[in-house]
Structure 1
């Protein structure tokens, strides 16, 4: 069976633990190995042995004007995983913050002109998305959770746009056959996302005065992320 490593880049332990459980469920894996890059570098695990990587979100932003040493170290390690996927030596799925790291690495522009408040949103697959083995089987339109302050301004050099919507042009792309990046959160169920909102209530992802209404909307949403994630292990060929 193929092995997958969950890469955590969240400082908040409760949110990190919950995200790990979300990815484990979505991938359909009883056990999902984990590394927290804020507490350990890639060198602390035999990361080259893994067939696949899933990279979670973070309150960090690529566009942060000032970055701590550990944020810079996190971004360096994420770039190493992306490089390995670009070389075809593994398969990686970067989400939210991770799409910014990959976009910058590819020479694209990350800025704050297309933010999305915490909510479920509809994304539309491109022709390339419909033909993609990870995205295509889900149909032309998907419902997903999103919450971000920055995004890729356009598809970076060498990448193929897979999904888009009016609020944020670059919702997902693929580079080569082994590197995927999404602006949205495929792992989160409605309850997962509502629990995450409680952790980041004052972090600028939604109006705190509208917390109750936002939570109700999130909990009543139906999303397709688990279906997408369940297909990821099948790409690994193990």
Structure 2
């Protein structure tokens, strides 16, 4: 089988390594068939898409909507690398699934409006499929409404017509979309379980996702309802696109 790639941007080793472990678990892949590239510390390789099965993107600390002067040199490099990659991915309709930062990368590439209108605190929210989502093969077998982990400072408030809206939540209208037939992006985190999001809450406690005195409230919020369905998408992605 041709390998899949996970493009990651987390600088902190513990949440970065746990993110990779979660993608391995829920895709069913091993380290040889899911190659990780940590873009915060190395340049994106010049991928030969003919030699890959598909591309995953994990979450991360970068906000596409930040003013240019507030972005680090690393963020500017990573954004330019994603723009160049998406030129080829979108043109070829190559299998791509971006989780959380997928909204920032694919959304920015499409010219979507990304701002802080629909931020969501770290929590569990009900995500509901649109008609397009209910008929999408990547979401086959998913309930029409399911619980998912979220936590983001920015979101899409306007999605171009060339993208198909697949899912929404009460507090964020664009939770998932598709471009073409094979390029996907989610605002929620399909790779997370409660242990994984707990690690991230502690790792990013000082990164502005919640106030200093809200740590316990945030830990309680991600336990308010069981989350079991989103991770199914990762296995389905592999089943559809492995070659």
* SS of match in other structure, 1:162: strand
Using the size of structure 2 for normalisation, the TM-score is 0.91
Q: Is the aligned partner of 1:84 residue 2:121? A: no
What secondary structure, in the 3-state scheme, does the structure 2 residue paired with 1:210 have? Answer: helix
Q: Distance in 2 between matches of 1:221 and 1:33?
A: 32
Match of 1:140 among 141, 144, 158: 144
Matched, 1:231 2:233: no
TM-score in terms of structure 1 length: 0.93
1:154 match: 158
Residue 212 of structure 1 and its aligned partner are, at CA, apart by 1.5
Alignment partners' CA distance in 1, 2:120 and 2:205: 15
Structure 1 residues 56 and 216: CA distance shift in structure 2, 3 A: same
Say how many residue pairs are matched: 238
SS of the residue aligned with 1:147? strand
TM-fit CA distance, 1:84: 2.7
Distance in 1 between residues matched to 2:231 and 2:23, nearest whole Å: 9
* Larger deviation, residues 74-83 vs 184-193: 74-83
Give the C-alpha shift of residue 237 in structure 1: 4.5
Q: Structure 1 residue 216: deviation in Å?
A: 2.9
**1:2 CA displacement:** 4.2
Deviates more, 1:181-190 or 1:40-49: 40-49
- The runs of at least 4 consecutive aligned structure 1 residues that moved more than 4 Å come to 44-48
User: Which position in structure 2 is the counterpart of 1:183?
Assistant: 187
Shift of residue 93 of structure 1? 0.5
Q: 1:47 to 1:197 in 2, by over 3 A?
A: farther
Output aligned runs, 1:74-153, within 5 Å: 74-88=78-92, 90-153=94-157
User: In the aligned structure 2, how far is the partner of 1:219 from the partner of 1:30?
Assistant: 29
1:109-164 deviation line (CA, Å, top 9, x unaligned): 11111100001111100000001011232121121100001011122241000000
1:169 equivalent among 161, 168, 173: 173
Q: 1:40 maps to which residue?
A: 42
Classify 1:218/1:68 alpha carbon distance in 2 versus 1 (closer, same or farther; 3 Å). Answer: same
SS at the partner of 2:76?
helix
RMSD: 1.7
Unaligned stretches of 5+ residues in structure 1: none
Distance in 1 separating the partners of 2:173 and 2:106? 16
Give unmatched runs, 5+ long, in structure 2.
Answer: none
CA contact (8 A) 2:126 2:170 kept: no
Q: Deviations over 1:72-109 (max 9, x none)?
A: 11112222332332123621111212212211211211
